[in-house]
C-alpha cells in the first residue's frame, strides 16, 4: 500500500522505489471523490495527469488523463509455424521489407488502406466503423482524410514491430510476430479536446491536479467522451489488425511456408466497465493490461531485452490487471543525455534494428529490468512464453 492516500492504493513494486513525482500523482488521484481504489503496476512511472502503470476504478466518473492521449494503445502478437532455423542469417532484407510495407514515425500511407485487399484481415464491420467518424467531436472533422491514411501505420516513440524467437520450454525456437501501436493522431486529438473540456467543468474546481479533471455519468460531456473513446479504441484495435495482417504477408513472401495461429491483442490505455465487490466501476488502465482469469496478454520489455506472453490470474485486488511493459526508468531527454549510439549498439547486439541517434531514447538502459517487473507480478499473471526479438522496427 502507498502511504498518505485517501482510498486503497495497492502497489506491486517497492513503494519507496516509486519516483517522487509519480508517488505524488498517485496520492492526488486517491483524493478524487469518485475513486474507489487504485492498483499500481510494477512498471509505474510519472505521466501527464495520471501515472503510467496505474489502474483506477471510479464510480460514475472517468478522467480522460487516466486513459492517456494514445487512446487504445496496445499490443498484438501471433505465433507462427516457423522456427529460428527457418530464418535467414541476414535479417536486414526482412526488416527493410517490413519498413517498406508499414509506414513508421510521422509517415502515413499515400493511399488509404482498402481492408478488402489485405490478405488475412477480418473483413467484418469496416463500413460501420468508418461511418462512425461522422459522429465524433466536430473539431476533428478535418482529420478524416488523415485518419484513413494513418490506418495501418506504426507511429513513433516506443511503438515497434518485432520478429521474435521463443526461449525455453517445449516450444523453444518458435518464431512469433509482435507489434505495439495505438490510435495514431486521431486518438490524440480526441483525447486532448476532451481533456480541455473536462478541465473547464465547475465540479473539477479545487482538484489537487487540474489534469485529473473528470466527466460525470449522466452528463452530455460524459456521453460525448465515451462515444469518441469507444470509437478511438476500436480504431487502435483495427490499426493493429491491419498491420499484423500486412506483417504476416511480408513474412510469408520471404518464407512461403509460414502459417499463423490466432492473434493475441490487448489494449493498455483504455476504459472498461467492470464490477468488483458488487460495485460497478469504470476502470481506466493507463499502461496496464487486463489480466482476468485466463486472459492472454502481452508484456514487452525493450528493444533489446525481450517480451512475455502471459495468462491472467484474475486478481481482484489489482482490478484483474498487470503491467503493460517494463516501464521507463528515465525520461527520453535523460536517456539522450546519458547514452550514446555506441551504447545502443552494445545493448541491442544480435538484434536487426536501427542503431542511430534517433532511437537512443529507446535504448534498453532507459527501461526497468523486465525480469524484475515480471517477478513482482507473479500473483497477477503466469508466463506462457518468453520471447527474444531478432528484428525490431522502430518509428
**336 and 298 part of one domain:** no
Same domain (yes/no): 225, 166:
yes
CA–chain centroid gap for 295, Å, is: 16
Query: Across the beta sheet with 279-286, what order do the strands follow?
Result: 9-11, 35-45, 52-58, 279-286, 269-276
Q: Do residue 348 and residue 244 come from a single domain?
A: no
* Pair 249, 353 in one domain: no
Q: Give the pLDDT confidence score for residue 250 in this predicted structure.
A: 98
Domain shared by 79 and 198, yes or no? yes
Q: List binding-site positions for Mn(2+).
A: 70, 159, 180, 268
Same domain, 345 and 386: no
**Strand 52-58 relative to strand 296-300, pairing:** unpaired
Is residue 342 assigned to a domain? yes
Q: How far apart are CA 269 and CA 265, in angstroms?
A: 13
Query: Which amino acids are annotated as binding site, given as ranges?
Result: 70, 158-162, 180, 268-269, 300-303, 307, 324-327, 394
Render each residue's pLDDT in the chain as its tens digit; 395 residues: 788 888 999 999 999 999 999 999 999 999 999 999 999 999 999 998 799 999 999 999 999 999 999 999 999 999 999 999 999 999 999 999 999 999 999 999 999 999 999 999 999 999 999 999 999 999 899 999 999 999 999 999 999 999 999 999 999 999 999 999 999 999 999 999 999 999 999 999 999 899 999 999 999 999 999 999 999 999 999 999 999 999 999 999 999 999 999 999 999 999 999 999 999 999 999 999 999 999 999 999 999 999 999 999 999 999 999 999 999 999 999 999 999 999 999 999 999 999 999 999 999 999 999 999 999 999 999 999 999 999 999 98
What is the H or E stretch that residue 347 is in? helix 341-347
Do 148 and 260 sit in the same domain of this protein?
yes
* 236 within 8 A of 40, measured Cβ to Cβ: no
Instruction: Judge whether 21 lies within some domain.
Output: no
Catalytic positions, written as ranges: 324
Residues 334 and 261 occupy one common structural domain:
no
Measuring CA to CA, which residue among 324, 374, 371, 321 is closest to residue 39? 321
d(CA 20, CA 44): 12
| Contact in structure between 164 and 79 (CB atoms under 8 Å) | no
| First-last CA distance in the chain | 37
Question: Are 349 and 232 in the same domain?
Answer: no
Q: Give me the CATH number covering residue 205.
A: 3.90.1860.10
Which residues are annotated binding-site positions for GMP? 158-162, 268-269, 300-303, 307, 324-327, 394
Question: Residue 339 is part of which domain span?
Answer: 330-361
**3 state DSSP class of 89:** coil
Cell of 52: 503510467
Residues 205, 105 share a domain: yes
Which residue has 465487490 as its cell numbers? 277
Helix (H, G, I), strand (E, B) or coil at 165: strand
Q: How many domains does the chain have?
A: 2
Same domain for 260 and 334, yes or no, is no
Q: Is residue 50 part of a domain?
A: no
342 & 238 share domain: no
> Could you tell me if residue 271 is inside a domain?
no
Q: Are 165 and 186 in contact (CB under 8 A)?
A: no
Amino acid at each position: 500500500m502507498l502511504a498518505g492516500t485517501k482510498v486503497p492504493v495497492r502497489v506491486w513494486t517497492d513503494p519507496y522505489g516509486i519516483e517522487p513525482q509519480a508517488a505524488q500523482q498517485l496520492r492526488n488521484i486517491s483524493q478524487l471523490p469518485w475513486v474507489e481504489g487504485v492498483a499500481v503496476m510494477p512498471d509505474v512511472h510519472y505521466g501527464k495527469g495520471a501515472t503510467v502503470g496505474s489502474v483506477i476504478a471510479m464510480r460514475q466518473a472517468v478522467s480522460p488523463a487516466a486513459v492517456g492521449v494514445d487512446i487504445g494503445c496496445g499490443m498484438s502478437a501471433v505465433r507462427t509455424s516457423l522456427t529460428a532455423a527457418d530464418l535467414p542469417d541476414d535479417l536486414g532484407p526482412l526488416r527493410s521489407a517490413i519498413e517498406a510495407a508499414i509506414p513508421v514515425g510521422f509517415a502515413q500511407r499515400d493511399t488509404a488502406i482498402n481492408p478488402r485487399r489485405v490478405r488475412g484481415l477480418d473483413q467484418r464491420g469496416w463500413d460501420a466503423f468508418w461511418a462512425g467518424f461522422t459522429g465524433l467531436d466536430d473539431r476533428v472533422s478535418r482529420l478524416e482524410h488523415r485518419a484513413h491514411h494513418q490506418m495501418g501505420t506504426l507511429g513513433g516513440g516506443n511503438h515497434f514491430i518485432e520478429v521474435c524467437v521463443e526461449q525455453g520450454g517445449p516450444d523453444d525456437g518458435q518464431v512469433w510476430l509482435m507489434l505495439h501501436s495505438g490510435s495514431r493522431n486521431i486518438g490524440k486529438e480526441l483525447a486532448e479536446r476532451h481533456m480541455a473540456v473536462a478541465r473547464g467543468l465547475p465540479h473539477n474546481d479545487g482538484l489537487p491536479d487540474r489534469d485529473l479533471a473528470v466527466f460525470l455519468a449522466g452528463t452530455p460531456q460524459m456521453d460525448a467522451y465515451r462515444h469518441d473513446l469507444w470509437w478511438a479504441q476500436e480504431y487502435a484495435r483495427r490499426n493493429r489488425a491491419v498491420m499484423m495482417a500486412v506483417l504476416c504477408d511480408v513474412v510469408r513472401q520471404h518464407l512461403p511456408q509460414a502459417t499463423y495461429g490466432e492473434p493475441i491483442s490487448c489494449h493498455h490505455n483504455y476504459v472498461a466497465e467492470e464490477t468488483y465487490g458488487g460495485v460497478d466501476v469504470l476502470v481506466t488502465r493507463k499502461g496496464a493490461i487486463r489480466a482476468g482469469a485466463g486472459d492472454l496478454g502481452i508484456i514487452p520489455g525493450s528493444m533489446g531485452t525481450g517480451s512475455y506472453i502471459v495468462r491472467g490470474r484474475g486478481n481482484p485486488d489489482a482490478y484483474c490487471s498487470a503491467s503493460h511493459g517494463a516501464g521507463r526508468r528515465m525520461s527520453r531527454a535523460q536517456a539522450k543525455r546519458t547514452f550514446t549510439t555506441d551504447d545502443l549498439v552494445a545493448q541491442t547486439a544480435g538484434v536487426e534494428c536501427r542503431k542511430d541517434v534517433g532511437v537512443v531514447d529507446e535504448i534498453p538502459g532507459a527501461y526497468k529490468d523486465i525480469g524484475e517487473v515480471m517477478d513482482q507480478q507473479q500473483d497477477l499473471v503466469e508466463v506462457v512464453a518468453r520471447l527474444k526479438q531478432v528484428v525490431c522496427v522502430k518509428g
